[in-house]
């Protein structure tokens, strides 16, 4: 388990070997130890996700940071790492929250946020030089996403449901055995009608190969829409669905958007997709 903006292949064997013979139940401590040892360079991309920046700025009706009565919507990034995406969402008007299993990562994220909120870097924005609204707040929690035992603050507690939740490299950092827990936790924290945004990566990697990162082609659709276990055995089409007899969409989410991002991290090899799922 990992609660960081994690799992890029640049770490190669160093990252794989950390988890190769570690029991799945101890994966969380493995990610924490990597943070404590200063090994976050194995996955850290150093900036907010360009694909998320674009989807937030271009899909303004879908991702309006304000409710009809003018209140700020709440956005959560589980496994937020240094908080790049959390800060970006706040700069675009959301009340933004980041969750990390590592206390070291939370401290790093708080330090990063204090600097960036005062003087934002250009990578937080796409076509806009600066958002039209004033920034929202930023809050980081330490805790295990699979439980409600978080270091709550800022008026958030175990009953809070979020309007927007974002996943980039959280799911691909998890062993396949933990995928059902991932979708159950996503359903728990996303409000009815709320949105789960996924930057689906890595789609070029065979799902049968070991991770992290674990290949995810077809996994999001199976987990979120079909209510499956996220283990893909057959061929997956361009729509991200496994080529098999049609099954009822009985999962907790329905897909609202599925697009190839014009911009993403270089490591994606031009294959990743952005999916937006609405909580039923």
Q: Report if residue 4 sits inside a domain.
A: no
Which residues, other chains included, contact 197 with Cβ-Cβ below 8 Å and sequence gap of 6+?
52, 55, 164, 165, 166, 167, 274, 275, 276
Q: pLDDT value at position 3?
A: 39
CATH of the domain at 154: 3.40.50.150
Structural contact between residues 187 and 253, judged by C-beta atoms closer than 8 angstroms: yes
* DSSP, residue by residue, 229-251: -S---S-B-TTS-BSSS-----S
Q: pLDDT value at position 154?
A: 85
Q: How many domains does the chain have?
A: 1
Tens digit of pLDDT at every position of the chain (280 positions): 343 343 333 445 878 788 888 888 888 777 877 877 777 777 788 999 999 999 999 999 999 999 999 999 999 999 999 999 999 999 999 999 999 999 999 999 999 999 999 999 999 999 765 665 689 999 999 999 999 889 999 899 999 999 999 999 999 999 999 999 999 999 999 999 999 999 999 999 998 898 999 999 999 999 999 999 999 989 999 999 999 888 889 999 999 999 999 999 988 888 999 999 999 9
Q: Report if residue 152 sits inside a domain.
A: yes
Q: pLDDT value at position 128?
A: 61
Classify residue 127 by its DSSP letter: S
Tokens standing for 213? 């990162």
pTM, two decimals, is 0.92
Q: Report if residue 122 sits inside a domain.
A: yes
Give the CA angle between residues 17, 23, 29 to the nearest 5°: 75
Q: Report if residue 99 sits inside a domain.
A: yes
Cα 271 to Cα 5, 199, 210, 238: the distances in Å are: 19, 11, 19, 11
Q: pLDDT value at position 130?
A: 64
| Angstrom distance (rounded) from CA 32 to CA 102 | 5
Q: Report if residue 227 sits inside a domain.
A: yes
Q: Report if residue 1 sits inside a domain.
A: no
- Domain range enclosing 178: 9-279
Q: pLDDT value at position 52?
A: 97
Q: Report if residue 234 sits inside a domain.
A: yes
Q: Report if residue 43 sits inside a domain.
A: yes
């Amino acid at each position: 388990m990992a609660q960081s903006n994690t799992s890029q292949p640049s770490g190669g064997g160093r990252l794989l070997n950390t988890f190769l013979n570690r029991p799945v139940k101890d994966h969380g401590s493995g990610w924490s130890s990597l943070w404590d040892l200063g090994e976050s360079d194995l996955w850290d991309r150093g900036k907010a996700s360009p694909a998320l920046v674009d989807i937030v700025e271009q899909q303004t009706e879908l991702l309006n940071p304000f409710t009809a009565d003018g209140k700020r919507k709440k956005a959560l990034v589980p496994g937020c790492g240094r908080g790049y995406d959390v800060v970006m969402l706040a700069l675009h008007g959301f009340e933004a929250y980041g969750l990390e299993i590592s206390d070291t990562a939370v401290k790093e994220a708080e330090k990063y946020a204090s600097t960036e909120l005062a003087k934002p870097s250009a990578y937080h924005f796409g076509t806009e030089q600066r958002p039209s609204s004033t920034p929202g707040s930023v809050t980081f929690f330490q805790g295990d996403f699979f439980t409600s035992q978080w270091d709550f603050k800022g008026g958030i507690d175990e009953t809070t449901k979020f309007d927007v939740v974002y996943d980039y490299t959280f799911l691909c950092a998890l062993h396949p055995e933990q995928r059902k827990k991932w979708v159950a936790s996503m359903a728990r924290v996303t409000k009815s009608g709320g949105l789960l945004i996924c930057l689906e990566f890595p789609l070029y990697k065979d799902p049968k190969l070991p991770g992290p990162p674990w290949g995810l082609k077809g996994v999001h659709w199976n987990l979120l829409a079909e209510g499956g276990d996220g283990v893909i055995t057959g061929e997956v089409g361009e729509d991200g669905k496994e080529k098999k007899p049609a099954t009822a969409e009985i999962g907790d989410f329905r897909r609202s958007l599925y697009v190839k991002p014009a911009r993403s991290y270089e490591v994606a090899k031009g294959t990743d997709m952005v999916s937006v799922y609405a909580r039923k």
